Amino acid sequence: MTYKTVLATSAAALLLGSGAALADTWRYAFEEAMDEVQGKFAQKFKEEVEANSDHEIQLFPFGTLGESADTMEQAQSGILQFVDQSPGFTGALIPEAQVFFVPYLLPQDDAQLASFFKNSKAINEMFPPLYAEQGLELLTMFPEGEVMMTTTEPVESPADLDEVKFRVMTNPLLVESYQAFGATPTPLPWGEVYGSLQTGIIQGQENPAFFIESTKMYEVTDYITRSGHNNFTTAVMANKEFYDGLSEEDQTMIDNAISAAFDYIIDYQKGLTEESLEKIMAAKPSMTITDLTEEQRQPFMDTAESVEQEFLEIGGPQAQEILDQLKADLAAAAEG
């Protein structure tokens, strides 16, 4: 029996055992710590559910039930009722979800971004059936913050990423994106990233500022580059069989709790990026943070079209339709 099998089996036993006595105890796993963005969202969701029903939510932060692949399997099998996971990890299951890794697709304006995620027809109408095919009820997607590169050497142009082994999630389009940027994309589970940067196996990774700060990625890198190429997207899902089996009252209660948590997490993130960067600089004054100029960003932006074309090749049968609708949704958000 492999370590992963032992872990998954132990997790299943733990979860089933913990819920056996209480039919109204629901389990929710996410990819971050309790005090990070997904953890804050989960805690608000739990608060809303428990305030408006007799149900209880058990929260499982990253690492308690294994890696992302493990929690997704647990959600699909019904061991977990809820899971929060980036499309970066669900790209293999739902290829259309890789669209969120086309660089420079999402706006940098926070108000536009929030409006897009809340009102997008692609997210709210087109994606749910695709998730349903995988046994998942898509409850919401939300942004987590501007994605920044952290590297051991400065990055001011794609040439600076030449031969840089850059950690990416196991997502084909993200791999394509960093190849277009000039790097050598290296898929790794998150648990291996810090050590791999420390030992020089890789020389870079990307994440929002709050996550760089909380996971201390600045300790093993020296440069943060703001290229404006993306905003980290995540999705909250329920096991579909579980959700479909709920009363209409409970479904409405869950939907309302998700809506309240969405509004809360958008508000929570105001100022979070700058606050996190300040904490990083306080912890490591030698860190260099570079906000690329429009001129410096242009060579990175020029790669977007080739990555978009790759998405249309590998993004599943609805790739073109989803991309077109997303662009229409983004235009609507920009108009206010």
d(CA 216, CA 207): 12
Long-range pairs, 301-305, Cβ under 8 A, ≥24: 301/103, 301/104, 301/229, 303/103, 303/158, 303/177, 303/180, 303/181, 304/102, 304/103, 304/104, 304/105
Residue 311 pLDDT > 90: yes
Residue 27 pLDDT > 80: yes
**CA triplet 28, 190, 96: central angle to 5 degrees?**
70
d(CA 246, CA 240): 10
What CA–CA distances, in Å, run from 156 to 87, 160, 179, 265, 316?
A: 28, 7, 16, 32, 34
pLDDT for 271 equals: 96
- The DSSP annotation for 6-65 comes to HHHHHHHHHHHHHHSS-TTEEEEE-SS-TTSHHHHHHHHHHHHHHHSSS-EEEEE-TTSS
- The pLDDT of 138-164, averaged and rounded, is 97
**254 band by pLDDT with thresholds 50, 70 and 90:** very high
- The pLDDT of 251-266, averaged and rounded, is 98
pLDDT digits (tens, 9 = 90+) for 313-332: 999 999 999 999 999 999 99
Query: Does residue 14 lie within any of the structural domains?
Result: no
Query: Does residue 13 lie within any of the structural domains?
Result: no
- The pLDDT of 231-236, averaged and rounded, is 97
Pair 113, 102: CB distance under 8 Å: no
Give the chain's length. 336
Query: Domain range spanning residue 236?
Result: 25-334
Give how many domains the chain has, as a whole number.
Answer: 1
Query: Does residue 15 lie within any of the structural domains?
Result: no
Share of the chain above pLDDT 70, in %: 93
Interacting residues of 125 by C-beta distance below 8 A, sequence separation 6+: none
Residue 68 pLDDT > 90: no
**336 band by pLDDT with thresholds 50, 70 and 90:** confident
**CA triplet 220, 233, 336: central angle to 5 degrees?**
130
**5 band by pLDDT with thresholds 50, 70 and 90:** very low
Query: Does residue 20 lie within any of the structural domains?
Result: no
Task: Report the CATH number that the domain containing residue 189 is assigned in CATH.
Answer: 3.40.190.170
Query: Does residue 1 lie within any of the structural domains?
Result: no
* Three-state DSSP class for residue 246: coil
pLDDT for 4 equals: 45
Query: Does residue 209 lie within any of the structural domains?
Result: yes
Q: Phi-psi category of 98—alpha, beta or left, where left has phi over 0 and alpha has psi -120 to 50?
A: alpha
Residue 222 pLDDT > 60: yes
Environment class of 84 (CB within 10 Å of its CB; exposed 0-12, middle 13-18, buried 19+): buried
pLDDT for 290 equals: 98
Query: Does residue 11 lie within any of the structural domains?
Result: no
Dihedral angle, C-alpha 128, 134, 137, 143, nearest 10 °: -70
* Lowest mean per-residue pLDDT among 4-18, 67-81, 187-201: 4-18
Pair 84, 60: CB distance under 8 Å: no
d(CA 41, CA 84): 10
- The pLDDT of 137-164, averaged and rounded, is 97
Residue 10 pLDDT > 60: no
Q: What is the mean pLDDT of the chain?
A: 92
- The DSSP annotation for 276-289 comes to HHHHHHHH-TT-EE
Query: Does residue 164 lie within any of the structural domains?
Result: yes
